[in-house]
Amino acid sequence: MFDTLQQAEQTEPIVLIPVSFLTTVGDQFEEFIVKFRDVDLNENHEHEGRSVTQQCKSYVFDLNYRLRLRLIETPGMGDTRGVDQDDKNINHILTYVNNLSHLNAVCLFLKPNTSKLNVFFRSCISQLFTYLTPIGYSNIIFCFTNARSTFYAPGDTGPLLRQMLKKEHQDNIPFAKKNTFCFDSESFRYLAARKCDVNFDEFQTQECINSWTVSVTESVRLLNYILTREPYYLDEWQSTRKFALDISMLAQPLMETLRLILYNSALRESGLVGKKMILNSNPVNIEICSNCAQNNIVKVGPFWIVEYEPEKNNTVKHCQCPFDERHFLIESTVKHDFSLQPIDFSSDELKTFFHDFLLKCDRLVYFIRQKEVSNQDDPFGTVIERFLEEEKQISDKNMSNLNMNKRIKEILGSIKQTRQQNKQKLIKSNEKLSLKDAYKIIDQLKTIRMVNEQLESIKTSRQWKREANEYRVKLPPLKNKIFFECINSFN
């Protein structure tokens, strides 16, 4: 925003993300802890080695009347909580990105003095590369922070990164001066510390001025480079990792539809053909899971059903439950109704529809396993296990007239054997679907109204949560001439 560090020091700084750091000044090495801006639950500075950022968050800058810049900050890699947390973080990042229309750039931030690229970083970068298609590789950008110590160059990390890219057969990902940028945050730390009345000597001040000059130049060069990139439109390109994310999003809608078929088959078997079960789904504007949500056991027709909804007066935007078997994210609430409409299909037709539907789902899982692109081996099995747990909750409550629920529980329990049979058939036939063919199965399943309606509810939920976790930055008038010329050159 400013031409010089001295200009910036005369104004109130824009600090988007809370900062906390230790600085040492003076001949006696006086230590000061600098904390700036209010506490943000999305930024955790209290645990050394853990990713500070907890969830993806967008920062939106309206640079002029025609140019908007959206920076998405993500959790970091190499979390001390281990590979499970890193897997959770990369899955969260890719799920967040998968709901966007396009990306102009993917910036990978590294430190230049790394002696080795840890296994977590390699794993996560590999997942990123399987999400993007080669057409998106030209949008990858390498950013090196804390670069003053390596004379604003990639340092020891550079050769390691180049070696990793070559080993992963990613020679077509450029790693050159044009898409590599080196910064240092020392000048920002200087400004934050000065606002906390910390004094620096002349040498330290000059070092920060030099850091400011280089980092501003690199920032403008970065923005200029991003403006030259063709947008990578996410809906236009199919990849195996994107496919796995799409299946993960479809898991609940597909299995809820499968269970609805079971309800109506049970009604048909019992002779109740004049009425049928239907379901409606609604988006949720808060992140909840099956463990922290309020769950109610309600009677719908002859069935007892567990329904979920957010706890009343709950203002926590992110689920805080431990990541274990109890944690099943609920992205839309499903309500069942007992309708006066007759069941349109015979028992045999419902049975055929059920088995064809389940086989399509198992073909999708088989494809994911063949490609080895996701750490979630069977998203459908997870939902079915939750259904069985719900039936156990109902039976434990000793509700009256559980005959229909016993039938549902019996069929749900037999699905595992049916799916195992489907798996053996697919192995025996050695089915090898192309990615295009796998997406054709998804498209077929999406034509089912109940599936599509639930899917739209989930998309709305994700959009609401994304907007709630978005910060629009109000900028002062531009004073930096180079930056001003850069953004106004954009057509």
- Residue 36: strand pairing partners: 19
Cβ partners under 8 Å of residue 398, min gap 6: none
Residue that has been written with the tokens 């039976």 in this structure: 395
Which range has the worst mean pLDDT, 301-310, 365-374, 411-420? 365-374
Strands 140-144 and 106-110: parallel
- In angstroms, rounded to a whole number, what is the distance separating the alpha carbons of residues 393 and 21? 49
Residue 51 pLDDT: 46
Beta strands in 187-275 (DSSP E): 232-233
- In angstroms, rounded to a whole number, what is the distance separating the alpha carbons of residues 462 and 453? 15
- In angstroms, rounded to a whole number, what is the distance separating the alpha carbons of residues 131 and 124? 11
Residue 491 pLDDT: 59
Residues 415-459: tens digit of each pLDDT: 999 999 999 999 999 999 999 999 999 999 999 999 999 999 999
Residues 259-298: tens digit of each pLDDT: 999 999 999 988 888 889 999 999 988 878 777 788 889 9
Backbone phi, psi, residue 314, to 5°:
-85, 115
Q: In the predicted model, is pLDDT for residue 53 greater than 60?
A: no
- In angstroms, rounded to a whole number, what is the distance separating the alpha carbons of residues 313 and 315? 6
- In angstroms, rounded to a whole number, what is the distance separating the alpha carbons of residues 131 and 94? 8
The whole-number average pLDDT for the span 196-210 is: 89
The whole-number average pLDDT for the span 81-97 is: 80
Residues 333, 309 contacting (CB under 8 angstroms): yes
Q: In the predicted model, is pLDDT for residue 364 greater than 80?
A: yes
Residue 41 pLDDT: 54
Structure-model confidence comparison of residues 384 and 88, the more confident one: 384
Q: In the predicted model, is pLDDT for residue 49 greater than 50?
A: no
Which range has the worst mean pLDDT, 19-28, 163-172, 446-455? 163-172
Count of alpha carbons within 13 Å of 106, Cβ hemisphere only? 22
Residues 104-160: tens digit of each pLDDT: 999 999 889 877 776 767 777 778 888 999 999 999 999 999 999 898 999 998 988
Residue 318 pLDDT: 64
Residue 79 pLDDT: 61
Q: Is 346 helix (H, G, I), strand (E, B) or coil?
A: coil
Give the chain's mean pLDDT: 86
